[in-house]
């Protein structure tokens, strides 16, 4: 059944944005928008309503860590769950993401089942 | 000796040796040696990155072809079963329904189309190689740009007055602009056996986060 939650997918590669968007749609989340970096994402987040952010880390202009910090320091945005989906596999990056407020961390390449599981767990924790 | 006369192999070897020594000394004096050595040290890494790209693109192509072959076989099965069911309905519609052929056919089709959908999802997922290889290609391009930048700088500083064409003199700016390093992030792990303190699977990520209480 389709869910009305609105996702923002942030990744500098349009291929990956389309993949995530399609996977979310298949998983029952058809409402989504896209941004190619943290700057565009932040602008969209501040000018439109979203319920969930799925973001890459390694991006130009503003990377995923910077975006996470901006979101978590913004009173109006800090409630948003941020799921990092990235090729960054260093343990220090994973720990830093968690300590800075990320709701989840997925390493690329990933599967549809992994994305579904992580999104489901985060929504369950938040009672959404 | 006439400069047009071919040198003896031994003499040529000696001259190359002298030139190499002069280049080495000049690089040291100009302070380029360490910088160039830094770039040269990254070349083996560039090689493993290119191997990673070749492997990933190969695996993606293989995965897509496998899935397409399976999907086409299922497509042929659907077409054949549909023709068989049409023939059965034309011959004796009541019997086709009564014997359960229609119901079996519909149930079968639901399962087969579910499989087809799984193939399409996997074909879509295989396209993630574009993101991963794109990041790695970007790093190799940056390495090449840095190397070029350093060589051009060396050319400018060692050339006699008026000896550097304007186009070359302007090149470092363009190269530097193109090679803007995005960050200190590591990017995809191209060779897990050589990488330290990295995870190689989602389960390792989950274990690490669980150990931290997340």
The answer on pLDDT for B30 being more than 70 is: no
Instruction: Give the pLDDT of residue B105.
Output: 94
Residue B186 in contact with partner chain A when CB distance is under 8 A = yes
User: In angstroms, what separates the C-alpha of B126 from chain A's closest C-alpha?
Assistant: 9
The predicted structure's pLDDT at residue B110: 95
Q: What is the distance between the alpha carbons of residues B56 and B38, in angstroms, rounded to a whole number?
A: 27
The pLDDT value given to residue A85? 96
Residue A52, chain B, CB below 8 Å: the answer is no
Interchain contact, B186 vs A93, CB within 8 Å: yes
CB pair distance less than 8 Å for B128 and A16: yes
Q: What are phi and psi of B120, to 5 degrees?
A: -65, -40
* Separation in Å, CA of A74 to nearest CA in chain B: 22
Predicted pLDDT at B77? 95
Q: Which residue has the higher pLDDT, A80 or B43?
A: A80
**Residue B70 CA: distances (Å) to CA of B66, B101, B121:** 6, 25, 13
Answer whether B124 touches A (CB < 8 Å).
Answer: yes
Tens of pLDDT along B53-95? Answer: 999 999 999 999 999 999 999 999 999 999 999 999 999 999 9
Label residue B154 by pLDDT band (50, 70, 90).
confident
> What's the pLDDT tens digit per position in A56-95?
999 999 999 999 999 999 999 999 999 999 999 999 999 9
Domains of chain A: 7-123 (3.40.50.2300)
Asked whether the predicted pLDDT for residue B10 surpasses 90, the reply is no
Domains of chain B, first to last: 32-181 (1.10.287.500)
For A88-128, write each residue's pLDDT tens digit: 999 999 999 999 999 999 999 999 999 999 999 999 999 88
pLDDT, residue B179, reads 40
Residue A34 has pLDDT above 80, yes or no: yes
Give the least confident one: A41-45, B3-7, B117-121, B188-192.
Answer: B3-7
Grouping H, G, I as helix, E, B as strand and the rest as coil, residue B169 is helix
pLDDT computed for residue B174 by the predictor: 43
Does residue A28 have a pLDDT over 90? yes
Each residue of B164-173: pLDDT tens digit? Answer: 655 555 554 4
Q: Crossing angle of helices A64-72/A38-47, nearest 10°?
A: 30
B205/A contact by beta carbon, under 8 A? yes
3-state helix, strand, coil in chain A (%, to 5): 45, 15, 40
Give percent of chain B above pLDDT 90.
37
Whether residue A103 contacts residue A75, with contact meaning beta carbons closer than 8 Å, is answered with no
Distances, alpha carbon B4 to alpha carbons A42, B1, B151, in Å: 67, 8, 29
**Local confidence band at B177 (pLDDT 50, 70, 90 cut-offs):** very low
User: Region B18-31: what's the mean pLDDT?
Assistant: 70
Average pLDDT over residues A9-35: 95
Between chain A and chain B, how many beta carbons pairs sit less than 8 Å apart? 88
Q: Do A58 and B183 touch (CB under 8 A)?
A: yes
Task: Look at B125 and A111 and tell me if their CB atoms are within 8 Å.
Answer: yes
- What pLDDT was estimated at residue B196? 77
> Which residues 131-150 of B have a C-beta within 8 angstroms of A?
131-132, 134-135
pLDDT of B38 above 90: no
Smallest CA–CA distance, residue A36 to chain B, in Å, is 13
Q: Rounded to an integer, what distance in angstroms lies between the CA atom of residue B79 and that of residue B162?
A: 76
What is the pLDDT at residue B175? 41
């Amino acid at each position: 059944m389709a869910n009305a939650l609105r996702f923002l997918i942030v990744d500098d590669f349009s291929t990956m944005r389309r993949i995530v968007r399609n996977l979310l749609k298949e998983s029952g989340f058809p409402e989504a928008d896209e941004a190619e970096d943290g700057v565009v994402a932040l602008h969209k987040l501040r000018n439109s309503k979203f319920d969930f952010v799925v973001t890459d880390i390694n991006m130009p202009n503003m990377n995923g860590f910077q975006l996470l910090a901006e979101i978590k320091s913004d009173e109006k945005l800090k409630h948003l769950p941020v799921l990092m989906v990235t090729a960054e596999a260093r343990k220090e990056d994973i720990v830093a993401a968690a300590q800075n407020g990320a709701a989840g961390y997925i390493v690329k390449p990933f599967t549809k089942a992994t994305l579904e599981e992580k999104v489901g767990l985060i929504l369950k924790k938040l009672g959404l | 000796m006439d400069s047009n006369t071919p040198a003896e192999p031994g003499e040529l070897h000696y001259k190359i040796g002298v030139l190499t020594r002069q280049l080495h000394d000049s690089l040291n004096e100009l302070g380029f040696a360490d910088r160039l050595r830094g770039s040269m040290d990254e070349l083996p890494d560039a090689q493993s990155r290119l191997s990673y790209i070749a492997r990933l693109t190969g695996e993606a192509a293989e995965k897509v072809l496998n899935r397409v072959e399976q999907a086409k076989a299922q497509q042929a099965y659907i077409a054949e079963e549909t023709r068989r069911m049409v023939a059965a309905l034309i011959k004796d519609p009541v019997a086709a329904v009564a014997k359960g052929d229609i119901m079996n056919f519909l149930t079968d089709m639901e399962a087969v189309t579910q499989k087809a959908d799984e193939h399409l999802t996997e074909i879509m997922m295989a396209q993630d190689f574009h993101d991963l290889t794109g990041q790695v290609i970007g790093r190799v391009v940056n390495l090449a740009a840095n190397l070029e930048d350093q060589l051009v700088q060396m050319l400018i500083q060692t050339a006699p007055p008026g000896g550097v064409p304007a186009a070359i003199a302007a090149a470092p700016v363009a190269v530097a602009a193109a090679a803007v390093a995005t960050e200190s992030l590591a990017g995809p792990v191209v060779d897990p056996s050589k990488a330290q303190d990295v995870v190689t699977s989602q389960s390792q990520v989950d274990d690490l986060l669980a150990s931290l209480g997340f």
